[in-house]
Amino acid sequence: FVPSDIQVPTGAWRSIGTSHNTFALESGLDEVAQSGGHDPFELRRKLLTRNPRALAVLDQAAELSGWGKAPEGRFQGMGYTDYLETFQAQVAEVSVSKRGKVKVHKITCVADCGQVFNSHIAKQQLGGGILYGLNATLKGEINVKDGQIVQSNFDDYPMLKLKDTPEFNVHLMENHEAPGGLGEAGTPLIGPAVANAVFAATGKRIRRLPIRPKDLV
């Protein structure tokens, strides 16, 4: 191969390829919906018409999140993925201050992972994955200078605190399909869901993570 500069910012993230790919795919799909004058939820439904399990999680996520009915000053974004044989939709509800600070108020996650043997642990797995992804979306920036990582501790690499944690609503669909995976399933979708909500609030597309205030003002 021949190395070349393709103007796409890259960086190591202790995650899986699905996290990177889902951010690009679901952000791009939202952009297609906007440019074509389509509701992001309705466009995803049209593309997944032949997938009843996908349609079920989309419909439930739209209903539970109150899609299209966000309170004044708040904006919604969504994403969908099927990963590890788990079908999932997430809706993020955010506000953006005049200084570009993003606050996530509410996250709705609906997952169809087949048969569930312990719903409490299953919801905790999804919630933990979402928080891990949310930290990367809002705070997890790593910089390299002179071949070394700049960040060294939690003072310059901040983590989400309890006060930063939004309202959660994790819902599991009931069926008798074979069990799917949940260990990493919550992480990939939160980035594009928040980024799409930020676009709804500001009209500015997010091309990199974490989301920085200076990119929104």
Residue 10 belongs to some domain of the structure: no
Residue 88's CATH number: 3.30.365.10
Asked whether residue 63 is domain-assigned, the answer is: yes
| Model pLDDT for residues 58-100, shown as the tens digit of each residue | 999 999 999 999 999 999 999 999 988 999 999 999 999 999 9
pLDDT (tens digit, 9 = 90+) per residue, 118-175? 999 999 999 999 999 999 999 988 888 888 889 999 888 889 998 889 999 999 999 8
pLDDT digits (tens, 9 = 90+) for 191-205: 999 999 999 999 999
Q: How many domains does the chain have?
A: 1
In a domain? residue 59: yes
Helix (H, G, I), strand (E, B) or coil at 32: helix
| Rg of the chain, C-alpha, whole Å | 17
Q: Is residue 193 part of a domain?
A: yes
Task: Report pTM.
Answer: 0.92
Residue 108 forms part of a structural domain? yes
Position 6 in a domain = no
- Identify the domain containing residue 191 by its residue range: 17-204+210-214
State the burial class of residue 127 (Cβ atoms within 10 Å of its Cβ: 0-12, 13-18, 19+). Answer: middle
Residue 110 in any domain: the answer is yes
